[in-house]
A and B are shown apart, each in its own frame.
Chain A
Amino acid sequence: MNNTSSVTVLQKYQRRKLNQRSQTIIYLAFGGIFLFAITLIGTLLGDVAITTNFTQKNLVPQMAHPFGTDYLGRDMLSRTLKGMSISIYIGLFASVISALIAAILGAAAATLGKKVDAIITWFIDLVMGIPHLLLLILISYALGRGTFGVVVAVAISHWPLLTRIIRGEILQLKEANYIKIAGKLGQSKMKIVAKHMIPHIFPQFLVGLVLLFPHAILHEAALTFLGFGLPPEQPGIGIILSESMKYLALGMWWLALFPGVVLLATVMLFDLVGQSLRKIIDPRSAHD
């Protein structure tokens, strides 16, 4: 945080022409629109993604099929979009659940006394001790694999980091002078929470939630790729990529390349949206 003090004369000279805030908003809007578009198109696609056409099989990318087709003649562009939208829905659901868990646990740890704090902190250590992907595999296994397993696994395993952040923020706030003064001035606890704490924590929470997105999406795809997630007839992005692996040796590169690029782009965009949001909401972190 001592960054601001270390800006040299030279660096100051390099100020961008566009105001940073408006640039961030442009990023945010662009990212948001793009993601919304993918989701919408994917949702509206209907059956195209699973329609086979044997006269069009194994086609390299071309005008009619920009992403090529697979061994069953399915159009890879529609499959990719459909798969991405499924992943985004799962990611959305999972991040909301995880963020809620994080909010509750974080608040509890910070406000319900040392014992609760110790237990929750210990629990965070516990969950973070098992490598995340292995934890996902374990939960999915416990639920008998399949779609339900992957959704639950991703939803209930992403809370520890955000919990830590929220806990830290609340603890910091509790020590902040204006909160203490408000207390001394005789404002009720409820009022302090409603008026001073929540407005401060909520933006943090929102940013945390958006930043959970890319993780959730990546983990869903990974778990499905490994065979623990969506069933093979679904055009999940993990399914598409694990299927592409079968035809790699045959030289069908487009099966893996484009869906992967779209997944990468989606994850990056979500990250960008999250970071932009953070910059807008919390200018302190807007360095560099």
Chain B
Amino acid sequence: MKNKKIIVLCLIITFLITLVGCSKNTDKNTNSAKDSVVIAMDAESEPAAGFDPIMGWAAGEHTHDPLFQSTLLITKDDITIGYDLAKEYTISSDGLTWTFKIRSDVKFTDGVPLTAKDVAFTYNNAMKQATETDLSMLKSVEAVDDTTVKFHFKTPHSAFAYTAAVVGIVPEHAYKAETYGKNPIGSGRYVLKQWDKGQQVILEANPNYYGEKPNIKKVTIVFMSEDASYAAAKGGQVDVAYTAPSYTVNPVKGYNILAFNSVDVRGLNLPAVPAGHKTPAKKSGETYPAGNNVTSNLAIRQAIACAIDREAIVKNVLYGYGSVAYSDSINEPWENEAMKTSYDPAKAKSILEADGWKLNAEGIYEKQGQKAEFDLLYIASNSVRTGIAMAVKEMLKQVGIKVNPIGSSWDKISTLCYETPHVFGAGLHSPTSIRSHYYTGKNFASYSNPTVDKYIDEALAATSLEASYQYWKKAQWDGTTGVTPQADSPWVWLVEIKHIYFAKENLNVVDKKIHPHGYGWTIVNNVHKWSWK
């Protein structure tokens, strides 16, 4: 009897506690003070290695303002080059030496002045790392005096200014490879206040910043999946939330949909060599299997290029938030018109038949026992890439090519995509994306064409950016050979996607610069200029 009473008493007490707890329900809506902003970003945007420019922060595959660090140069809204740390720069006539004069009034957040030595240290170390930041053209960087730094090149590289606009400068005295990513000391507009891995980062304005004072003092960035981002906007918990086209069918009250133009394109890499190859060894000594027995057939690659109805993808998968794309340099001055191709499934079939492929009983082309069938990787958490993969599958089925979509995460895909095509995202504010997609030994398609390589070398050797454009164009198509859909077609580019966000109606988001690939950090390039109405 006694036992029973005690138990019942316990039950009642716990019950009451719970109830009381429920009733005092504190719903703390993050009140957006006038100088802070909360942004929901794609979970893939979180840099695994931290905010370390030497490990590829801001300057790797996704390029943007490093925020915590200063850069020598910047890209302006119209994708021309401007100045940050540098006051001026000169290029020697052979293109092998660049000399930068830098400001002398810049201090790191720990109070130590930033000098040419730190610039040299940053680049000399970043060169040794094999990150996505391509610095292989550099020989060495030396600090001549406190405000002068000289870059010595192995080969000329006219596009280097774009790289100098994204590599953040780290302090030589306070740099430790193991910890810097978590605790970045820099001289940028913002300092990293807190980083909860897998969830969020909190940025605060650097009070000693040498440039224009940030209008927004605190920036909280939460990393979320598409649906969580939508739900967060619906709940009013974030001020800006990235979203995907399929979520725009139901707008969120109190929010506008912002759509930014981009050079962010989606396309397929079509491994141009047969299976059994290996990639060049990575820094850790690892190599990955490369090559694909189906896509190594030129006819297959050419057929794919004209068998895909890009307009339909824009309409159906992107809900109109995008445009057709035929190259990785959409609307950029170095894009070659010859990359364009028209949607023509009949032509795709005739290309295959001319090459000796025959339809089998299942309606799939076959040649010498090899079926026209391959896997296609896509990032499963991304609804647009999933949609593109499925659309490609349906469209290629119409021309007798069977595609089996395989959903995965980029982490896994990064090791598999050398032998299996993947729905890639790409696009830079720089012609070097042509190099990363087509240059021998550098690309995911294991593509190699000496003529293309030659033009790329010439483009980089040009004395000015403008002078380099013609070579970049020739690298794509010179009249006889190239990477166009009618020629080698190692990549099939499909669509440009607009970057879309839900943003609070009373928030003035300043962002005029065309977005490169990387849905994430580009949005905050100008966050310091945002304001609340």
Q: Which residues from chain A sit less than 8 Å from chain B, CB to CB?
A: 51-55, 57-58, 71-72, 231-233, 245-251
Contacts and interface: CB of A to CB of B under 8 A. Distances in A.
Given A54-B312, A231-B407, A72 B225 contact: no
Contacts of B230: 249-250
Sorted from nearest, which 3 A-B pairs have the closest CB atoms?
A: A54-B316, A232-B407, A232-B380
Given A54-B315, A250-B246, A250-B250, 11 more contacts: A52-B394, A54-B316, A58-B246, A232-B380, A233-B380, A233-B404, A233-B406, A245-B227, A247-B227, A249-B227, A250-B247
Interface stretch (B85-93, B175-183, B383-391, B492-500): B383-391
A266 B24 CA distance: 42
Nearest to A72: B390
Contact of A71 (B225, B246, B393): B246
Given A72-B386, A249-B234, A54 B391 contact: yes
Interface string B487-522: 000000000000000000000000000000000000
Nearest to B229: A249
17 contacts: A51-B394, A52-B390, A52-B391, A52-B393, A52-B394, A58-B246, A71-B387, A231-B380, A231-B406, A232-B380, A233-B406, A247-B246, A250-B230, A250-B246, A250-B247, A250-B250, A251-B250
Given A52-B394, A250-B247, A71 B406 contact: no
B226 interface: yes
Interface string B373-402: 000000010010011001101100000000
A256 to B, nearest CB: 12
Given A54-B317, A231-B407, A232-B407, A250 B249 contact: yes
A238 to B, nearest CB: 14
B248 to A, nearest CB: 10
Contacts of A54: 312, 315-317, 391
Interface in B401-420: 404-408
B16 interface: no
A246 B386 CA distance: 13
A51 B390 CA distance: 8
Contacts of B404: 233
B234 to A, nearest CB: 6
B231 interface: yes
A52 B392 CA distance: 10
Nearest to A47: B397
Nearest to A250: B250
Contacts of B387: 52, 71-72
A242 to B, nearest CB: 10
Interface string B128-142: 000000000000000
Contact of A246 (B312, B315, B383, B394): B383
Interface string B341-363: 00000000000000000000000
A203 to B, nearest CB: 41
A79 to B, nearest CB: 13
Interface in B298-330: 312, 315-317
Contacts of B394: 51-53
B435 to A, nearest CB: 33
A132 B316 CA distance: 43
B407 A233 contact: yes
B231 A249 contact: yes
Contact of B225 (A57, A58, A246): A246
A238 B249 CA distance: 25
Contact of A248 (B227, B315, B391, B408): B227
A232 B381 CA distance: 9
Nearest to B247: A250
A9 to B, nearest CB: 33
A248 B383 CA distance: 15
Nearest to A73: B316
Nearest to B405: A233
A213 B380 CA distance: 30
A247 B390 CA distance: 18
B51 to A, nearest CB: 28
A58 B234 contact: no
A71 B316 CA distance: 10
A57 B407 contact: no
Contacts of B408: 231-232
Interface in B241-276: 246-247, 249-250
A124 to B, nearest CB: 29
Nearest to B378: A233
A20 B360 CA distance: 57
A84 B22 CA distance: 39
Contacts of B407: 231-233
A53, A231, A246: residue with the most chain B Cβ atoms closer than 10 Å: A246
Nearest to B386: A72
A55 B247 CA distance: 17
Nearest to A55: B316
Nearest to B394: A52
A72 B385 CA distance: 12
B226 to A, nearest CB: 6
A51, A231, A232: residue with the most chain B Cβ atoms closer than 10 Å: A232
Contacts of A247: 227, 246
Nearest to B246: A71
Contact of B227 (A53, A246, A251): A246
A148 B140 CA distance: 50
Contacts of B316: 54-55, 57
A140 to B, nearest CB: 16
Contacts of A248: 227
Nearest to B390: A52
A246 B408 CA distance: 17
A185 B197 CA distance: 74
A245 B231 CA distance: 11
A71 B391 CA distance: 12
A72 B405 CA distance: 13
A138 B250 CA distance: 39
A215 to B, nearest CB: 28
Contacts of A52: 387, 390-391, 393-394
B250 A246 contact: no
Contacts of A232: 380, 386, 407-408
A135 B182 CA distance: 34
A245 B226 CA distance: 11
A243 B274 CA distance: 36
Contacts of B247: 250
B320 to A, nearest CB: 13
